[in-house]
Amino acid sequence: MTAITLDALDLAALLCSRVCHDVISPVGAIVNGLEVLEDEKDESMRGFAQDLIKKSARQASARLQFARLAFGAAGSAGAAIDTGDAEQVARGFIADDRTTLNWTAPRVLLPKNQVKLLLNLLVIATTAVPRGGVISVTLTVEGDIGTFLITAKGINARIPSAAPSLLAGAPESGTVDAHGIQPFYTGLIARAANMTVDLSIEGDTVTISAKPKAA
């Protein structure tokens, strides 16, 4: 595999496409609900539309808050991020009827890129259990350095086929599209944070670990 480099414009465009993909569904549902309220006189249907709008608005807000920390600047260069804030946006991002999030971590300030890496690894964990399951996050901290362990357990658990090569910055296809930009970006963040990422699977459990590179 040969490592590839995206120029800044392509990286920005692909990340924007990813964020739009994540929010277009709930935003579209809000629009549909508003159209029902405009045209429908039946009170039960209007109640259904109002519930849809509320649920979709919460989902869109949660996804945008998550994207702000996981993909955005989230403060100036060298800034630290509260892991409590990371937990809050992670719970909002994963809030559904199929997946349970267990979060075991001290509430501390960690360097921005480490927290961004943790959140992006969480995204990969959700794709590892497409039918839902239990995702467990364990964070240990020594000084200002975090070590992450994430497990995703569920039916048909799998390591996404392209994830390892994308994390390594060397996709087998030789290109990166909007579908693959998230794991590719995760690899960029890992290298910026001077951390290594490992993925493994045993039975119905995928394990993702990240730790500082050996000196």
All residues at 6 or more sequence positions from 25 whose CB lies less than 8 Å from its CB, including other chains: none
At residue 149, the 3 state secondary structure works out as strand
45 or 92, which is more confident:
92
Tell me the mean pLDDT in the region 170-192. 92
At residue 45, the 3 state secondary structure works out as helix
Please state which CATH class domain 8-20+77-212 belongs to: alpha beta
pTM over 0.85: yes
The DSSP code sequence of 68-132 is HHHTS--SSTT-EEEHHHHHHHHHHHH-SSSEEEEEE----EEEHHHHHHHHHHHHHHHHH-TT-
Largest alpha-carbon pair distance within the chain?
Answer: 68
At residue 40, the 3 state secondary structure works out as coil
pLDDT above 70: residue 215: no
> What are 205's strand-pairing partners?
153, 202
Q: Which of 78-87, 116-125, 190-199 has the lowest mean pLDDT?
A: 78-87
